[in-house]
């Protein structure tokens, strides 16, 4: 079994900066709460799906903390850290082919003139066993409206597959045209395949923390309004001629 984390010094710095931030249980967000990080509002939280190979493995959403991060400036920008604890962690033997899935959505909106121009996803910490087939995957869809993924799709993964070996895709990023708001869908899957030709022994796997960031660019005026203003100026000049 191995444990993966990002650079320790960076992690310590991040910890020292973000400790004052107020963590909110994920369940509270689904109940109508919202978060603010910098000038970004995270609201309209909705639980799409929780599933598991056994009801006893379903995650306790009150034990998952969401922490606002306002320390990123314009790049990587403000964001969120999801501290999952052991709620998305599996041990072999829980059920045949055990798995846990969590899928939710929310909106990110700018409260000022800093528009969102890209989105990053980071695997902060997790567990994987170097035997058999087991892993954790976080997939994210960014859209211009609820339920869409037309702006970006990102995936991070920590897994081990017999014959393929270790996969450590610990970050992903997507760039899109600046927007005042976006809609995010996040899916998490943790699994152990213990019914295949090479069943593992003693596997432990899970994602314990991941982070999302939203880079931004300062716009003195929203682009559509600026275009309208230029058009009106052009009409005024034409009338004077």
Place of tokens 């899928």: 103
- Over the stretch 74-123, which tens digit does the pLDDT of each residue have? 999 999 999 999 999 998 877 888 999 999 999 999 999 999 999 999 99
- Of all helices (H) and strands (E), which one includes residue 227? helix 223-240
Confidence of residue 20 (pLDDT cuts 50, 70, 90): very low
Structural domain boundaries in the chain = 2-240
Biggest CA-to-CA distance, the chain: 83
How many angstroms separate the CA atoms of 53 and 96, rounded? Answer: 8
Burial group, residue 175, by CB count within 10 angstroms (0-12, 13-18, 19+): exposed
Determine contact, residues 24/73, Cβ cutoff 8 Å: no
Query: What three-state secondary structure class fits 66?
Result: strand
- Over the stretch 157-178, which tens digit does the pLDDT of each residue have? 999 988 889 999 999 999 999 9
Confidence of residue 60 (pLDDT cuts 50, 70, 90): very high
Query: What three-state secondary structure class fits 238?
Result: helix
DSSP string, 10-26: HHHHHHHHHTTSPPEEH
Q: Is the pTM of this model over 0.85?
A: no
């Amino acid at each position: 079994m191995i444990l993966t984390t990002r650079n320790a010094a960076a992690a310590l710095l991040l910890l020292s900066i973000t400790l004052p931030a107020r963590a909110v249980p994920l369940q509270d967000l689904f109940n109508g709460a919202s978060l603010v990080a910098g000038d970004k509002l995270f609201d309209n939280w909705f639980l799409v799906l929780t599933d598991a190979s056994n009801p006893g493995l379903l995650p306790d959403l009150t034990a998952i903390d969401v922490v606002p991060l306002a320390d990123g400036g314009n790049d990587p920008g403000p964001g969120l850290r999801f501290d999952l604890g052991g709620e998305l962690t599996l041990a072999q033997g829980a059920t045949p082919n055990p798995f846990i899935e969590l899928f939710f959505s929310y909106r990110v909106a700018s409260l000022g003139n800093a528009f969102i121009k890209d989105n990053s996803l980071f695997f902060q910490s997790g567990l994987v066993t170097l035997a058999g087939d087991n892993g954790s995957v976080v997939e994210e869809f960014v859209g211009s409206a609820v339920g869409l993924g037309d702006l970006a799709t990102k995936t991070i993964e920590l897994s081990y597959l017999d014959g393929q070996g270790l996969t450590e895709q610990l970050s992903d990023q997507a760039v899109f045209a600046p927007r005042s708001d976006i809609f995010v869908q996040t899916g998490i899957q943790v699994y152990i395949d213990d019914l295949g030709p090479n069943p593992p022994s003693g596997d432990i796997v899970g994602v314990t923390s991941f982070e999302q960031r939203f880079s931004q660019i300062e716009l003195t005026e929203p682009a559509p309004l600026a275009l309208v203003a230029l058009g009106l100026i052009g009409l005024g000049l034409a009338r004077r001629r």
